[in-house]
């Protein structure tokens, strides 16, 4: 089966030698961007050290661009590794999700909210 991240067919918004970034096709917020290594592996834990480092360099670049253009109040940077973690495309990728004050009633716990009822530690 053809990998949708090996040939995304979408506009690349940033790139380096080891990775590229595209806007998410199903964004959870305005500007939601995916950083995708050119190396085809199932998740970031299997990336070469060079690809891993380059991906996170690109995360910084993408976040800076989003800060300059959208002015978010924060970010969620997230990675799903494996089906049990919610990964649906088995090509490593990193979500850069701009967050805005008021975009959810209670953002406390951030990424801890991936398991319902576990994110609130009050």
Residue extents of the structural domains in the chain: 14-101
Residues 85-112: tens digit of each pLDDT:
999 999 999 999 999 999 988 887 778 7
- Fold of the CATH domain 14-101: HIT family, subunit A (3.30.428)
Residues 27-38: tens digit of each pLDDT:
999 999 999 999
Return d(Cα 70, Cα 29) in angstroms, integer: 11
By C-alpha distance, which of 101, 39, 46, 48 is closest to 74?
Answer: 101
Output the pLDDT for position 120: 63
Q: What percent of the chain has pLDDT over 70?
A: 93
Rounding to the nearest 10 degrees, give the CA dihedral for residues 58, 28, 86, 18. -20
Out of 40, 91, 93, 95, the active site residue is 93
| 32 carries an active-site annotation | no
């Amino acid at each position: 089966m053809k990998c949708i991240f090996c040939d995304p067919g979408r506009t690349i918004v940033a790139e380096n030698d080891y990775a590229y970034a595209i806007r998410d096709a199903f964004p959870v917020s305005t500007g939601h961007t995916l950083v995708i290594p050119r190396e085809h592996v199932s998740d970031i834990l299997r990336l070469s050290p060079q690809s891993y480092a380059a991906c996170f360099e690109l995360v910084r670049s993408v976040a800076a661009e989003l800060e300059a253009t959208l002015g978010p109040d924060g970010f969620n940077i997230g990675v799903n590794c494996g089906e049990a973690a919610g990964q649906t495309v088995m090509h490593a990728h990193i979500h850069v999700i701009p967050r805005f004050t008021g975009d959810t009633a209670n953002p406390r716990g951030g990424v801890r909210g991936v398991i319902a009822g576990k994110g609130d530690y009050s």
